[in-house]
């Protein structure tokens, strides 16, 4: 079992202020795989002090120096990509194939993209006699979740480094081992002491200490809407910038002119990917009323074909949920869907047949769901799909937008121009047309209770910068 009790502060691995062991559990086997320490406010104070001290010099580094650092990090990351994939699979339960094809590469993708952005980004622009200057905001607190650990860590650390900020990272205590490895990658790449700091811990202690710290200029948080509200409240007295990427309940509109069988299969697979533990998962499938019967048949077949089991097995589609609490939440909401009268057409309660251990859930599909049911309103974060009938296109858009969330949307159509028109009507931060993949050069973030601010690419870099006007910088032209 790994010993990961130390924190990374001021360029060194240091012991916590007080011992508070916490076991990291492999959700496929329910056995401990590592021990970390849960930090305290005192540990946060030390990390923030190191970041504050380092900011004075790092914020003044040249773009060329920051590019050199990012490129060194990329090379180290590439050398450890297989180790990173295996670590992510073990700590949060995704299949090794997904970890190798998406989870670990996502971190590398953000690093590559920020290099492209930084190479051409304009930090200064003269407007008449006034210089518009973009400067690093300061010490940043980064709080990340367990479901896509490297995607979320790299999406924050990369632009912070590019901007000239220093930072304190608190990864999820459920899946902290990939962050531990990431800290080693940054150390070996020559990241200056104090620029990047890592303190493990829980939200109510370490997360709250970061959010409320007077020397932290910005908090970038990814997690549940409930936790995001707590972060914003803790940050409010010091009037720091808070960016949040929170929950989602994304709709997948299958238009009448779509290839129904293909669209339904794609929608089911997208919903179940990463065992349904993605904030942008298309968990509400909207289907024309006249096509409900064939849609139900196609969804049932796709769900029943989804293999669940050992994440290290190459032929598995999905692994376990990330932990006991998540498993119990998914079971509770499946039961609530049954109790509220939704039609269970695949999956249901309990583990899949033949699996007696691990936090594995059955790939589950409900049909004849109304948008006021709990399973259509709450973020389940498991392999559970709701199929909702709609009368016409306006009704579909109305249902899609009738949610407190607004993170993502999906539309499937045989007519690209038609799909474009519908995509523009979604009240969400991003929309996928015909199952298009994400693009790190785009941006990611939500409307409404899905958060504020944007990550990825140039938009993500902008979040870590302050805009200053220097009047009279140039002589006025007569």
Q: Is 94 a catalytic residue?
A: no
Q: Which of 91, 173, 245, 455 is catalytic?
A: 245
Say how far apart CA 324 and CA 359 lie, in whole Å: 6
- Residue 430: closest CA among 310, 279, 327: 279
Burial 389-424 (b: 16+ CB within 10 A, else e): bbeebeebbebbbebebbbbbbbbbeeeebbeebbe
C-alpha–C-alpha distance, residues 182 and 108, integer Å: 11
Q: Which residues are bridge partners to 135 per DSSP? A: 466
Cβ atoms < 10 Å from Cβ of 383: 29
Contact between residue 150 and residue 88 where contact means Cβ atoms under 8 Å apart: yes
Give dist(CA 47, CA 406) in Å, integer. 34
Q: How far apart are alpha carbons 219 and 325 in whole angstroms?
A: 26
**The two three-digit tokens of residue 316, written as one number:** 């598995």
433 with 416: CB under 8 angstroms?
A: yes
Picking from 303, 318, 320, 407, the residue whose alpha carbon sits closest to that of residue 356 is 320
Residue of 342, 423, 429 whose CA lies nearest to 385: 342
Helix, strand, coil fractions of the chain, as percent rounded to 5: 40, 20, 35
The answer to whether residue 379 is catalytic is no
DSSP 207: I
260, two tokens: 């129904």
Catalytic residue among 4, 165, 271, 279: 279
Q: Which residues are catalytic?
A: 245, 279
């Amino acid at each position: 079992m790994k010993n990961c009790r130390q924190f990374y502060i001021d360029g060194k691995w240091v012991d916590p202020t007080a011992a508070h062991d916490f076991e990291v559990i492999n959700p496929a086997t329910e056995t401990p795989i590592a021990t970390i320490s849960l930090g305290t406010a005192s540990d946060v104070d030390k990390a923030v002090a190191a970041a504050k001290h380092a900011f004075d010099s790092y914020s003044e580094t040249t773009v060329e120096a920051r590019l050199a650092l990012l490129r060194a990090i990329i090379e180290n990351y590439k050398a450890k990509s297989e180790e990173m994939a295996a670590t992510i699979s073990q700590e949060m339960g995704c299949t090794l194939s997904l970890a190798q094809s998406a989870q670990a590469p996502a971190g590398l993708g953000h690093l590559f993209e920020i290099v492209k952005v930084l190479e051409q980004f304009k930090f200064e622009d003269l407007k008449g006699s006034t210089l518009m200057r973009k400067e690093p905001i300061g010490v940043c607190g980064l709080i990340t979740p367990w479901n896509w650990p490297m995607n979320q860590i790299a999406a924050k650390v990369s632009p912070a480094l590019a901007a000239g900020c220093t930072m304190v990272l608190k990864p999820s205590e459920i899946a902290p081992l990939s962050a531990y490895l990431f800290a080693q990658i940054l150390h070996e790449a020559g990241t200056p002491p104090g620029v990047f700091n890592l303190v493990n811990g829980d939200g109510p202690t370490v997360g709250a200490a970061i959010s409320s710290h007077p020397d932290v200029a910005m908090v970038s948080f990814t997690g549940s809407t409930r936790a995001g509200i707590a972060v914003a409240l803790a940050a409010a007295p010091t009037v720091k910038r808070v960016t949040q990427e929170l929950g989602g309940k994304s709709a997948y509109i299958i238009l009448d002119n779509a290839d129904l069988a293909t669209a339904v299969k794609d929608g089911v697979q997208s919903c179940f990917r990463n065992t349904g533990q993605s904030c942008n998962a298309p968990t509400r499938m909207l289907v024309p009323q006249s096509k409900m019967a064939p849609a139900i048949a196609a969804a049932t077949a796709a769900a029943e074909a989804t293999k669940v089991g050992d994440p290290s097995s190459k032929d598995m589609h999905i692994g376990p949920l990330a932990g006991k609490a998540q498993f119990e939440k998914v079971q509770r909401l499946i039961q609530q869907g049954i109790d509220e009268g939704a039609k269970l057409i695949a999956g249901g309660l309990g583990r899949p047949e033949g699996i007696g251990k691990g936090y594995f859930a059955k790939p589950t599909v409900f049909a004849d769901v109304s948008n006021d049911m709990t399973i259509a309103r709450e973020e389940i974060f498991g392999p559970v799909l709701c199929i909702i009938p709609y009368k016409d296109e306006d009704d579909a858009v109305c249902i899609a937008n009738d949610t407190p969330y607004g993170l993502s949307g999906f539309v499937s159509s045989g007519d690209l121009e038609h799909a474009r028109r519908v995509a523009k009507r979604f009240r969400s931060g991003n929309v996928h047309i015909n199952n298009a993949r994400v693009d790190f050069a785009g941006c990611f973030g939500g409307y409404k209770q899905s958060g504020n601010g944007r990550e990825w690419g140039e938009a993500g870099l902008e979040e870590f910068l302050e805009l200053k006007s220097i009047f009279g910088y140039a002589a006025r032209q007569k």
